[in-house]
Structure 1
């Protein structure tokens, strides 16, 4: 006897759902500022408190913000990632 449960697969001929690029890339993007390549990642919430280097105010736990770091440094990409800074999104947008 066949199962009464319906398949969770999408029906034949129906288009696949649109890919959420932000979610697929972890919210990361590359930005060039003052001739330097930066990696910027959207942070939806966090459990830690950070100080924004733009305004020197607190980014509270749970507050959406961005983390930014140089894509390449003299010591390599890993050093850039380890030196990332957390910014208020508005502070990052207006420039640092």
Structure 2
């Protein structure tokens, strides 16, 4: 059977909130608060961020974790907007 050279329509990716929730994540408790933690692979890390643990840059292309409050009173969208990108080692010792 011959191969089709037609382009397939792209699947909608959704907004940042939906994409963030779609990935693998876990819930951890730190200092009496619940946090949602999602690992980010080096391939997914496309921007530079400042790690709140050490104050240094989490460079693009560096695997790290993203954490946000899981028990906030303002709702999921507000908690996700307040997410922070941490070096994996900084998150472990926080």
What is the CA-CA distance between 1:72 and the residue it aligns to? 2.5
> Cα RMSD (Å) of the superposition?
1.2
Q: Which residue of 2 aligns with 1:51?
A: 50
* Counterpart check, 1:29 vs 2:26: yes
* Rg larger in structure: 1
Counterparts of 1:4-83 in structure 2, within 5 Å, are: 26-45=23-42, 46-83=45-82
Mark the runs of 5 or more structure 1 residues left unpaired by the alignment. Answer: 1-24
| Aligned residues between the structures | 71
Structure having the larger proportion of residues in helix: 2
Runs of 4+ in 1 over 2 A off after TM superposition: none
What is the CA-CA distance between 1:48 and the residue it aligns to? 0.4
Distance in 2 of aligned mates of 1:26 and 1:38: 15
Query: Tell me, what secondary structure is at the counterpart of 2:61?
Result: coil
- CA deviations over 1:41-63 (Å, ceiling 9, x no partner): 00002110000000000111010
Distance in 1 of aligned mates of 2:29 and 2:52: 18
What is the CA-CA distance between 1:27 and the residue it aligns to? 2.8
Distance in 1 of aligned mates of 2:40 and 2:75: 23
